[in-house]
Amino acid sequence: MEAALSAPGPLVALVGNPNCGKTALFNILTGSRQKVANYAGVTVERKEGSLTTPSGRKVRILDLPGAYSLDPLTPDEQVTVDVLLGRRAGEVPPDFVICVTDATNLRQNLRLVLSLKRLGLPMVIALNMTDIARRKGIVIDADKLAAEFGVPVVETVGVKTSGAAALVGMLNQLKAPAQPHRAAQWRTPTAADIAHDQNEVRRILGVVGGGRLDGVTLDDRIDAVVLHPVAGPLILGIILFLVFQAVFAWAQAPMDAIKAGVGLVGEWVNHALPASLLKDLLVNGVLAGVGSVLVFLPQILILFFFILSLEESGYLPRAAFLLDRMMGSVGLSGRAFIPLLSSFACAIPGIMATRTIQNPRDRLRTIMIAPLMTCSARLPVYALIIGAFIPRRQVWGGLQLQGLVLFALYLAGIVSAMAVAYLLGRRGARFHSLMLELPAYHWPNLRNLAIGLWQRVEIFLSRVGTIILSLMVILWALSSFPAPPAGATGPAIQYSIAGHLGAWLSVIFAPIGFNWQISIALVPGLAAREVAVGALGTVYALSAGGSDVSGALTPLIAQSWSLPTALSLLAWYVFAPQCLSTLATVKRETNSWRYPIIMAGYLFGLAYAGSWITYHMASALTAS
Amino acid sequence: MDIVRDSGAGSIVAAEAAGPVGAGGPRLDEVATGAAGELPLADLQTGAPARVVSVSATDGTSGHPGASGGLSRRLAELGFLPGETLRIVARGFLGREPIAVRIGTGTFALRLFEAACIRVCPEHQPLP
């Protein structure tokens, strides 16, 4: 794949408005021969793929970020314009431009075509979504369009494998340029230019057709229900409830299977290797690390399956529309909804998804509160403590007390996130642009879903996997060295660096009710929250590698911890940044150490304050 | 929070009253539609067709990068230009903000301060 991508061949750039079906077309042209990375220095996704035409010539295809115009207002548009003008360091200007237009929305799309035409790069217009246009009764005369612009026009259908055949045929005849094309001089359009372009667009639409939709369309009828002030939020609530149900119900079996699989491999290594440091590293460092990453994959896959389907169908922007007012009241954009939703599975894909928020300050605020969403890594810890301390009984006519406590913990996360967003400065946030396009509804395309899911999985496993794995190995070392002295009676971890750290930490944590066992367990628990459960098992000297650490721990901690200590630990887990991978992701996404440090600081502060209040209130209540 | 929003809206109205030049932003060329029935986009009835009269930047957003200068330009790029027809498809939470506007063949969600830049003139034929 690497070789194919770096092979010489003409570079073709796909340019188009957001929502014009450009990425679907890119998927058809390049299939799985894609490489997703970032443009240097910015968090804008760079997608390049390759294509071999029937006559065997290689063509590189660059999917430039969607742009409404060549007068950039967003980082995405800046990249697109810079690449086209050859101003972007490390990027060669394209030899050829495919301007992708949505045949159902030419009125908007043609303005970009006019600007591109002015750049003077060799260009072809792809009239995309012609199938939907035809269904909607929109007829566009492609020949006249070609005559108007003086460039070839090909009809494409972004969701059909054969939909790009005409385009591939055209690429087949593409001549590799003798020397790189230079874009014409570019100047920022004035108000008069925009007005001129508008008149031009109106004139062209008069010639080729396709300017407007008459009557009430099916989309209008769907919108009347989906965007209804009462029915809309209700439908959104039901959809979210079903998504959450699916994430937690469907993921259970594969998660158990992954746990069992990793356990089996661990046992096999245990038997195959003699007791040694290497074996310990493999079993308790590497395998435990890999397992703790992999176990979240099913949830992330399921969540992203829904998010991508909702996105493809056109519903997600509408959800953002419905929630904008509510989120705006704490200074967030409606666009923050999608990243925050993802953060319920894991904050890492959530933080990566904030790239869709255009305003940098809105994006930063969303990143800062993402770890307060109750990610699934907290669940094992919550489950352990709730199981041990909250009686299994019904209150208020049939509600399970244990379930209520869990719900309260989720709610505490959401409410504190909103409060933090508000405090981080909502002043002026009302005036941050929304200007969100609500695209036409589509049926999600399976092929695009599969490609999108695969890319998410790849990113998660490669980037996050490496971070967690290395952290786990480091924490393993901290928990294993130095070895306990001869004749030691306590668990080995007590004599290690982590043990000393824990003993030191227990002085700090004593005011919030944590004993030294909890303090030690929080150290390896920095790698990933749920690791603390296993670490508690180690500290309490349970047989290592036992399949049900949590089950064995429950009666133990129920006896040895007080209720205020347990509640305090729950409060700690609502806030504490017990996840170095999240901080590492924030570092990468913001290109600075500043924000992860601020994030860790404020979250530890909140956690300490929350636990202190919880501990002392609970102590006062239980004493009386 | 209402105070902040109201004062923002107030300054937008004031800027409008001061005239197109006083608004401090570029005013795209006006289409003669008769100023009699002209109103801010946000005041348009949901579902009623209207024609854009003017799109002007206001300084209600000053001090917020990316909001003030680019606002009318961005609206123009999305197709909010004098002479285009539009209608409000839906209003957000509790019937206020944001508003979903169909213009040409596209639909966009706008916050009220964005909609405040757009003045429209209702067209009197009912929608089919």
Q: Whole-angstrom Cα distance, residue A65 to residue A133? A: 24
Q: Is the pLDDT of residue B11 over 70?
A: no
Q: Which residue has the higher pLDDT, A410 or B2?
A: A410
DSSP bridge partners of B118? B55
Q: Tell me if A93 is assigned to some domain.
A: yes
Using CA of residue A285, residue A286, residue A288, residue A294, what is the dihedral sign?
positive
Say yes or no: A367 and A507 in one domain.
no
Say yes or no: A320 and A358 in one domain.
yes
Q: Whole-angstrom Cα distance, residue A554 to residue A518? A: 14
Q: Is the pLDDT of residue A425 over 80?
A: no
Contact B77 A69 (CB under 8 A): yes
Provide, as residue numbers in chain B, all residues whose Cβ is less than 8 Å from the Cβ of A232. Answer: 90
Residue A574 and residue A408 in contact, taking contact as beta carbons nearer than 8 Å: no
Residue A308 and residue A334 in contact, taking contact as beta carbons nearer than 8 Å: no
Residue A299 and residue A246 in contact, taking contact as beta carbons nearer than 8 Å: no
Can you tell me which residue has the tokens 């007590």? A494
Tell me the residue range of the domain where A19 lies.
2-214
Say yes or no: A201 and A236 in one domain.
no
Please tell me the predicted confidence (pLDDT) of residue B3: 34
Say yes or no: A170 and A210 in one domain.
yes
- Which of B29, B67, B90 shows the shortest C-beta gap to A432? B67
Secondary structure in 3-state letters for A19-80 = CCCHHHHHHHHHCCCEEEEECCCCCCEEEEEEEECCCCCEEEEEECCCCCCCCCCCHHHHHH
The domains found in chain B, sorted by start residue, are 2-122 (2.30.30.90)
DSSP bridge partners of B102? B87, B107
Q: Is the pLDDT of residue A475 over 60?
A: yes
Say yes or no: A43 and A172 in one domain.
yes
- Tens of pLDDT, residue by residue over A217-234, are 788 888 888 888 888 889
Q: Tell me if A102 is assigned to some domain.
A: yes
Phi, psi (degrees; rounded to nearest 5) at A361: -75, -40
Say yes or no: A351 and A468 in one domain.
no
Interface test with chain A among B72, B77, B91, by most A beta carbons within 10 Å: B77
Q: Tell me if A383 is assigned to some domain.
A: no
Say yes or no: A209 and A294 in one domain.
no
Calculate how close chain A gets to B116, using CA atoms only, in Å.
Answer: 11
Within 414-433 of A, beta carbons closer than 8 Å to B belong to: 426-428, 430-433
Q: Is the pLDDT of residue A412 over 70?
A: yes
Q: Tell me if A225 is assigned to some domain.
A: no
- pLDDT band at residue B127 using 50, 70 and 90 as cut-offs: very low
The burial class, CB within 10 Å (0-12 / 13-18 / 19+), for B127 is exposed
**What is the residue-wise DSSP string for A135-201?**
HTT----HHHHHHHHTS-EEE--TTSGGGGHHHHHHHHTPPPPSS---PPP-----HHHHHHHHHHH
Q: Which of A10-19, A151-160, A608-617 has the lowest mean pLDDT?
A: A151-160
Q: Whole-angstrom Cα distance, residue A452 to residue A509? A: 44
Can you tell me which residue has the tokens 């102590």? A619
Within 115-174 of A, beta carbons closer than 8 Å to B belong to: none
Using CA of residue A451, residue A454, residue A458, residue A464, what is the dihedral sign?
positive
Structural domains of chain A, count = 3
Say yes or no: A29 and A134 in one domain.
yes
The burial class, CB within 10 Å (0-12 / 13-18 / 19+), for A370 is buried
Say yes or no: A30 and A111 in one domain.
yes
Q: Whole-angstrom Cα distance, residue A479 to residue A474? A: 9
| Complex confidence, ipTM | 0.71
Provide, as residue numbers in chain A, all residues whose Cβ is less than 8 Å from the Cβ of B104. Answer: 105, 107-108, 211-212
Q: Tell me if A413 is assigned to some domain.
A: no
Say yes or no: A181 and A241 in one domain.
no
Within 184-203 of A, beta carbons closer than 8 Å to B belong to: 190-192, 194-195, 198, 202
Residue A453 and residue A303 in contact, taking contact as beta carbons nearer than 8 Å: no
Q: Tell me if A219 is assigned to some domain.
A: no
Q: Is some CB atom of chain B closer than 8 A to the CB atom of A213?
A: yes
Say yes or no: A428 and A513 in one domain.
no
Please tell me the predicted confidence (pLDDT) of residue B14: 33
